[in-house]
Structure formats: C-alpha cells, structure tokens
C-alpha cells in the first residue's frame, strides 16, 4: 500500500485554513506546497485567493495574470473567475464581468453569471426583504440603518480588519449588550455589498434570499449573538 503524498496533505491543510478564514496560515501552507511542487495548480490558485482576501490586491492581480494560459489554450474557469473577483475589487467592473462571463462559458454548472441589478432595482428588492423580516429585526432597523455599497473597500477594512473583499454584509458598531461598556466610536450601521450579493445567487429570487440571510446575520450581531449562536440559528 502506497504512502499518502505529503504534498496532498499540505494542500488539504491549506484548503482547510482558507475555508476557515485563516488566510495567513493558508497562504503559508500554499507557499510551502509550491516550494515543493512549483507546478501545483491548486496551490497557485489558493495562494492568489489568499493574497486577494488579505487585501494584497495588486500582488494578487500580478500573480493571477501570470497564470493566464497562452492564447491558443482555453483558460481555467476558476482562474478566470478569481481574476474577475480581483479586478472587481479594484473597480474594474467591465473587465470583471467579462471574466465572470468567460468562467460561466467554460463551466456553467459551477460559475453562474452575476444577477446584475440597478441601484434602484436593488433597493426595491431590499425594501421587500426588510418588510418580510421578523419584527425584532424590523425594530432594530429603525435604530441601525442599512447602507448599500458596491464592494467592501480597503478604507472599510482598516476600520474592520476581519473583513475581506468578498464579504456580503457587515455590522459596524456596538452590539446591544455592550452599549453600557462604551461605543465603538462609529455610528451603528449594517452594510450590504451589492456586487458581491449579485454574484451570490443565480436569479433575483436567490439574490433576495441572500440579502435576507445576510441581514438576519448582521442584525444578529447587533443584537449580541456570536458566530456560534448564529450558526445554531441557521444564520452562519
């Protein structure tokens, strides 16, 4: 019986760290895999994804472009989609959507086309979702407004260092149970990131569902639930 490949084990550990949000650890793991096997495609893509999620955007773009195949070969859909994410975070939205479309052409089952909405249309969808929320959340919205941004920015990340460019929503402020201990220094708000939410569903209905889940999650943070409690409630 053959021994398991240690490189596969290292790659699996790095993938697990990436899935768990431990991006620095995952980056170290992918770089060790590439040190041992410079041609390891999964580790190369994983490394780029870590750079992107750690806000090392320019470096991530250089690395993902370096992985582009020659003109006479088809692209890898995961590579194309990842470059789209990076370019979208840089504000290159037309180039990003072309890459998302290419990833969809290459693998339509895995990579859906974004459900793009105008600002007015997205706000209308959001208003319908807000009206459907439980009363405790609707009451919270009166004190903690919802702000819609196209994407997370580096400036937001400097205030909330745990977020990354692909997050769907964010609560900024002080949870109810911590008010007596002093505020965060910011006004309480929930932020939604429209372009990320548009890519989270294959239809308007699915985008609406993702908006609802995100709002319940972020207002759950405001009401004092931690991540474990949110997971228990199905809002992780």
Q: What is the pLDDT of residue 182?
A: 40
CATH 3.30.2010.20 domain residues, the chain: 119-232
Kindly give the parts of the chain with pLDDT less than 70: 1-4, 177-186, 225-236
Name residue, tokens 């990354």.
164
Decide which of 1.25.40.10, 3.50.50.60, 1.10.10.10, 3.10.129.10 is the CATH code for 6-106: 1.25.40.10
**For the whole prediction, is pTM greater than 0.95?**
no
Residue range 181-192, pLDDT digits in tens: 444 445 789 999
Q: What is the pLDDT of residue 187?
A: 73
Q: What is the pLDDT of residue 226?
A: 60
Q: What is the pLDDT of residue 186?
A: 53
Nearest to 186 by CA among 196, 175, 198: 175
Q: What is the pLDDT of residue 160?
A: 86
CATH 1.25.40.10 domain residues, the chain: 6-106
Q: What is the pLDDT of residue 212?
A: 94
CATH number 3.30.2010.20 given to 119-232: yes
> How many other CB atoms are there within 10 angstroms of residue 41's CB atom?
12
Residue range 172-231, pLDDT digits in tens: 888 876 654 444 445 789 999 999 999 999 999 999 999 999 999 898 888 876 656 555
């Amino acid at each position: 019986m053959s021994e398991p490949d240690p490189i596969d084990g290292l790659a699996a550990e790095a993938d697990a760290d990436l899935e768990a949000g431990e991006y620095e650890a995952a980056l170290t793991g992918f770089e060790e895999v590439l040190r041992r096997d410079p041609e390891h495609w999964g580790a190369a893509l994983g490394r780029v994804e870590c750079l992107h999620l750690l806000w090392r955007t320019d470096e991530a773009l250089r690395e993902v472009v370096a992985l582009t195949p020659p003109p006479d070969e088809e692209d890898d859909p995961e590579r194309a989609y990842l470059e789209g994410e990076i370019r979208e975070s840089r504000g290159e939205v037309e180039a990003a959507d072309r890459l998302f479309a290419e990833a969809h052409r290459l693998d339509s089952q895995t990579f859906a086309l974004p459900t793009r909405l105008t600002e007015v249309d997205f706000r209308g969808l959001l208003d319908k979702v807000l009206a459907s929320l439980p009363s405790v959340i609707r009451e919270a919205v009166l004190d903690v407004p919802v702000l819609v941004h196209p994407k997370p920015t580096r400036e937001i990340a400097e205030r909330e260092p745990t977020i990354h460019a692909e997050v769907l929503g964010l609560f900024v402020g002080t949870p109810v149970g911590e008010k007596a201990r002093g505020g965060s220094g910011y006004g309480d708000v929930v932020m939604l990131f429209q372009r990320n939410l548009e890519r989270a569903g294959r239809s308007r209905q699915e985008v609406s569902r993702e908006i609802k889940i995100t709002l319940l999650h972020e207002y759950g943070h405001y009401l004092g639930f931690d991540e474990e409690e949110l997971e228990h409630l199905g809002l992780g």
